Amino acid sequence: MKPEPITFEPIGVIRSPFQEVAGTPIQGVFAPEAEGTVEVFEQFADGLRDIEGFSHLYLLYSFDRTQHVSLTVVPFLDDREHGVFATRAPCRPNPIGLSVVRLLARDGCRLRVGELDILDGTPLLDLKPYVPNFDSRPDARAGWVAAVAGQQRPPVADDRFAGE
């Protein structure tokens, strides 16, 4: 039996200096200077209580500009094809993005964040605190990414996933 479709409603919007995919950092860790704002809609304001105590947040968002799905991709960090679930490419069956950002400040429903790698106007689905005791895994393996880690590649996206 096939499960019923799932519908999500945005809880906010992400504002960033990035207007198009090409030139956007491929991961926030490569862009410590990239700052933006997470605007949480007013009806969710109570959910932000105590968020200031965390240095980093997970943002879950919609890859709302993805125009296709591909189960195999050539990711930004490699020249070889990999399964989309072994990458962070946006052209996924469920276009859900995940980023870790640095929380710089809170002003009401606006969170100023750094280490941002998300396009301006992206719908925010959820946010969660990054908790080192839960989320850091020193013994984690990095799969194919470990093999290409020393290669010199630009830490920004090109247009390989746009318009397909």
Q: Provide the CATH number for the domain around residue 129.
A: 2.40.30.70
Residue 67 covered by a domain: yes
Could you give the number of structural domains in the chain? Answer: 1
CA dihedral (60, 63, 64, 68) positive or negative: negative
Let me know: does 22 contact 160? Beta carbons within 8 Å: no
Residue 154 covered by a domain: no
Residue 46 covered by a domain: yes
**What are residue 97's DSSP bridge partners?**
61
Residue 32 covered by a domain: yes
Predicted confidence at residue 164, as pLDDT, reads 44
Residue 4 covered by a domain: no
Instruction: Read off the pTM.
Output: 0.89
Residue 50 covered by a domain: yes
For 74, the domain range is 12-148
Residue 159 covered by a domain: no
How large a percentage of the chain has pLDDT more than 70?
93
Which helix (DSSP H) or strand (DSSP E) does residue 112 occupy? strand 110-114
Predicted confidence at residue 163, as pLDDT, reads 52
Alpha helices in the chain (DSSP H): 132-135, 143-148
